[in-house]
């Protein structure tokens, strides 16, 4: 049982962390990415192509043509908003909420709600940008390439289900339920 758990965790973990490096190596013909999955200017909010940040987590498993590769580079370059400024803004909003929560007296919930709405708006902008990038990437892929991605995604989903089943707490005996 323990060997199966370790094997499943190793496989899923390896697939999750290794794909962004594979995508980089397969499509960028340069040195491997630095630790943490970053891809230099190509890095997206969650590790760049192959890392899942753009809604195409298994893009690294697909062989792109030279033309597709150029289009992908252009898409990722165009779709790279300034997330650092947004992260700093969000950090400042969280700090304001924290300051309101530790201030003496009654908490002004309306101020907290307003700050929370600003944080939500930042998240929504990021998600909309990621989805638009994923749509643009989708549009440069062939049906066969999309099927390859789907097959890999289905396999990983199956592994996740197996891992959840292996790590789920045991069910109480039937006698204890009565």
pLDDT value at residue 83? 82
pLDDT value at residue 18? 44
pLDDT value at residue 76? 86
pLDDT value at residue 177? 60
DSSP string, the chain: -HHHHHHHHHHHHHHHHHHHHHHHHHHH-SSPPPTTS--GGG--TTSSTTTTTTS-TTGGGSPPPHHHHHHHHHHHHHT---HHHHHHHHHHHHHHHHHHHHSSS---HHHHHHHHHHHHHHHHHHHHHHHHHHHHHHHHS-HHHHHHHHHHHHHHHHHHHHHHHHHSPPPPPHHHH-
The model scores a pTM over 0.85: no
Please give the chain's pLDDT, 178 residues, in tens: 445 545 444 444 444 444 444 444 444 443 333 333 333 333 333 333 344 445 677 888 899 999 999 999 999 888 766 788 999 999 999 999 999 999 999 999 999 999 999 999 999 999 998 899 999 999 999 999 999 999 999 999 999 999 999 999 988 888 666 5
pLDDT value at residue 46? 37
């Amino acid at each position: 049982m323990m060997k199966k758990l370790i094997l499943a965790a190793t496989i899923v973990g390896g697939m999750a962390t290794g794909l962004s490096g594979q995508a980089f190596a397969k499509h960028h013909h340069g040195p491997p990415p630095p630790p943490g999955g970053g891809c230099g200017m190509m890095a997206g909010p969650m590790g760049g192509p192959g890392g899942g940040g753009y809604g195409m987590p298994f893009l690294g498993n697909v062989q792109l043509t030279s033309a597709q590769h150029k289009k992908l580079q252009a898409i990722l370059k165009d779709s790279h908003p300034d997330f650092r400024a947004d992260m700093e803004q969000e950090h400042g909003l969280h700090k304001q909420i924290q300051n309101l929560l530790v201030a003496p007296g009654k908490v002004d919930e309306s101020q907290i709600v307003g700050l929370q709405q600003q944080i939500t708006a930042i998240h929504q902008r990021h998600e909309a940008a990621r989805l638009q990038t994923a749509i643009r990437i989708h549009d440069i892929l062939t049906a066969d390439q999309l099927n390859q991605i789907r097959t890999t995604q289905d396999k990983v989903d199956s592994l996740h289900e197996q891992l959840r089943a292996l790590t789920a707490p045991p069910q109480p005996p039937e006698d204890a339920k009565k």
